[in-house]
Amino acid sequence: MNKTVISLGGSIFSSDFSYLKNFIDIMKEKETYAIVVGGGKIARERITLLREMGASEYHLDKMGIQATRLNALTVSLALGNAMDIPISIDKALETLEIYGKVVMGGTEPGHTTDAVSLLLAEAYGSKRVVNVTDVDYIYDKNPKLEGAKKFTELTYEEVLNMLNEKSRGAGENFPMDVLSINIARRSKIEIDIVSFKDKENLKSAIEGKKFLGTIIHS
């Protein structure tokens, strides 16, 4: 059984949905899968609004989690699933045991969906998480800036060094976060960063074949 976990960035919902449809086409061919879906634009918009109104970061996280579950339900229904969206790792494991597949969103404040995907991988016994996002590689700075350097391989420690000086609040976006990398490091889980913009390359990454993107490992 393929035990790869997919962390599907909410940014895939921010276009004309053609990228989302491509992802669904790929996954419909799979008999088993474990997908954790991010909040994307809808989460950022609500979080920005509520932050301006004085809501706490804890409650902003709770708003973001609801957005991830809405997106997860969208993906699940598009794949033809009738199961409820699990609200915890334990419930996700139960769903995997029964159906051999699961789609979920966030679980609790303070945990990004990237972190949830790594926790699910730990609990599920997976050694690989495919992080599907809107960037093709991890870069040393904003890839839109001149001279940005892309990385095809990074160690956990190298990524942590890039992240440790960054301050993260609810709804902020980066291909990975500190908690996710620490979970991956303690259980030696490989993280593959791949863009959803190239369907065939994305399919290769999901299937464990050679792909264009960044590999994070020990």
Token pair for 107? 């679980």
Would 1 be classed as within a structural domain? no
In 3-state terms, the chain is what percent helix, strand and coil (to 5)? Answer: 45, 15, 40
Would 2 be classed as within a structural domain? no
How do strand 101-104 and strand 33-37 relate by DSSP bridges?
parallel
Task: Name the strand (E) or helix (H) holding 38.
Answer: none
Digit-coded pLDDT (tens) for 84-131:
999 999 999 999 999 999 999 999 999 999 999 999 999 999 999 999
Q: What is the pLDDT of residue 14?
A: 83
Task: Give the CATH number of the domain where residue 38 resides.
Answer: 3.40.1160.10
Domain residue limits at 136: 8-217
Whole-model pTM: value is 0.93
Counted domains in the chain? 1
